[in-house]
Structure formats: C-alpha cells, structure tokens
Amino acid sequence: MPSLGTPIRYLERSLPEKLAINKISSISKSPTLDVEVFFTHFLGLNKTQQLLNRDKILNKEELEVLNDAIQKRCTGLPVAYITGHKEFFGYDFCVTPSVLIPKPDTELLVEFAINKIIEKIEARNGSLSSDGQILTVCDMCTGSGCVGLSVLLELITKYKIRPEQLPKFVFVDISNDALEIAKLNAKKLLKEDLHYDSSEILLSKVEFIQSNLFELIEQSFDVILSNPPYVPQDMVNELLQDGRSEPRLALDGDVDIYTGNNSFTKDGLAIIRVLIEQVTEHLNPFGSFILEAGEYNVLEAQKLIEKQNFTTQIYFDLENQPRGVVSDLAN
C-alpha cells in the first residue's frame, strides 16, 4: 500500500498496476478508472490536475483515505458507495447502500418521462408558458429519487417551465432509509446546487411518502414512473455474491409485497404484477405509465399492461435490449 512521502508519480504507477490490476481487477472491469475517481473525489484532483501534480507528496491523511477506499473496493463495494456519489443524467446524486446505484440505462426512463410530460402540458395548456391545470407525477419505488428529480430538473433548466406551472411530484418508496436519501437529493439539487431564486417554490413541488406501492396513496396522477424491483430471485443471489452491497429490496422482483416473503413465482414479475393492477386505479383519464422492467421481463410486462386497457410501446436500451414500456391509458 502507499506510504508517507509517496508522490503521485509513483502512485500513478503503483496503484493502477499493482493494487488496481492485481486486486481491484478481480472485482472491477475498470480498475484504473476506479482509482482515478478516488483521486478526484478524495484529493480534489481531476485527471488533468493529477498529471500536472505528479510530484505532489501526499500527506498522512490523504494516504489513509486512499488506502481505506482501495481496501473497501477490494471487498467488492461499488465506487459510488465508497464516495457516496453517482452522476446520473448529468446531475450529482448522493447514494448509500440503502438505495440502488443509478444505472445509465435508466436515463432512458427519464427521457421518455420528460417527453410524455411535455406532451401533456402542451396538450392541456396550449404551450409550456401558458397558465393552466398543474400535472401530477408519481415516481414509484423512487430509491435515491434520481428518476423523478432528473425529470423535474430538466423541466426547470432545459424547458424553462415557470416554478408555478411545474408538475407536482410525489416520490414513493417502501424504505424510509431510501426516502431520506431522496429528500437529501431534493434539497441538494433543487435548493443548494440550482441557486434558483424560487427554491422554496421548487421544494413545495415535491412530496415524499413511505408506502408499500400504492397502499397508502390516495390521490391519482397524470403520469406514473417506476423502476421497481424486477430481477428474478435466483439472479439476485448471483448478483449479490460479488460484494456489491446493493439492497436486495430494490432488486428482487419475486417478493410477495403483502408478506415480505418469497413469492411462488421465480420470474421477477411478482411486484410488477401488483404494481400494474394498482396503477390503473391511480391514473387520471388519459394518464401515462412508464415502466422499466429490464431485458428479463419487458415483453411479459407489456402483455400485463395491455390487459389493463393500455396502448403500449417498448423502448430499448443502449445495447438494443428491451428495457421498458411506455403506456397510455385508453379511455
């Protein structure tokens, strides 16, 4: 491991090659990148600064922090949990092992949600700048809040929708620990990072509810977004063997939501089946439901949704695998 008096010049050679490749590479596909992230996060040095400061001598505290990060990574703990941060849709989200780490493919859910919301605002009010009825949006199984908050931030920054005309967002999760992270991200992104004159109005546009799916939700919505647990149980067991420490609650789609025990199904659809039934009871007329179901379950999820009087469209991820379903309630 690095020792006192070790310059970055040596660390660049020893960490990626000896530590990262020999140790981290057994659990990471990008060991060099992992170490660069640690340098950036813990030492405040981006890649260019690392090159320009190759003879910088690291002090005791810096070495201890780097060594601790490397040791944790060697156990399989993801980089995002070690740094406590993960970029998603261009925004910096706080993450802990209480929430699923946002994945790039889920950004597609955000894009389709934005398009659907913009479409509804224009259809209802004539234009994005006109006054009119406020839309309501639910981010079900929100986790870190990355999906709903990214949608809201894009409506503010890219589409310049006035705070008063922004949709009302309700973030729902069964985990109180996850909701606390989502609240933290809302405060950070909507108030502290955005530097918006109407930050209090923005925060009034979000609400957080702990609920087992829609069990405690009384209202209905114009748009429902969801990236629920959908991984088949046997695959979850395999995924968690590498020490990644992501919450089983956010992955396992075969849990019986009423008992918390394993369901009799092994296809990852147990939660989605209940969710789809409940969605129909919580959508306004002509409402939309956008669901990420993963390559395992998209086609079956589409069939289940269509049985509930929806028109549907499958969308594909960055590897051209089916990822989710965009659906509109037929009235």
pLDDT tens per residue across all 331 residues of the chain: 555 555 555 454 444 334 444 667 777 888 888 888 988 999 888 878 877 777 777 788 888 898 899 889 988 899 999 999 999 999 999 999 999 999 999 999 999 999 999 999 988 876 665 566 899 999 999 999 999 999 999 999 999 998 888 999 999 999 999 999 999 999 999 987 776 766 788 899 999 999 999 999 999 999 999 999 998 888 887 777 766 678 888 888 888 777 777 777 778 899 999 999 999 999 999 999 999 998 888 999 999 999 999 999 999 998 999 999 999 998 7
Model pTM? 0.89
25 bridge partner residues: none
- CA atoms within a 13 Å half-sphere pointing along the CA-CB vector of 268: 25
Q: Under a CB-based contact definition with an 8 Å cutoff, are residues 47 and 34 in contact?
A: no
Q: Which residues contact 238 (CB under 8 A, 6 or more apart)?
A: none
Amino acid at 76: G
φ and ψ of 86, to 5 deg: -150, 130
Task: Report CA-CA distances (Å) from 121 to 107, 134, 161, 178, 331.
Answer: 21, 8, 10, 30, 19
Q: What is the pLDDT of residue 325?
A: 98
DSSP state at residue 15: I
**Token pair belonging to 58:** 């690291």
- Collapsing DSSP states into helix, strand and coil, what is residue 165? helix
DSSP state at residue 217: -
Rounded to whole angstroms, the Cα distance separating 180 from 193 reads 18
Rounded to whole angstroms, the Cα distance separating 262 from 92 reads 34
Q: Under a CB-based contact definition with an 8 Å cutoff, are residues 325 and 313 in contact?
A: yes
DSSP state at residue 102: P
Length of the chain: 331
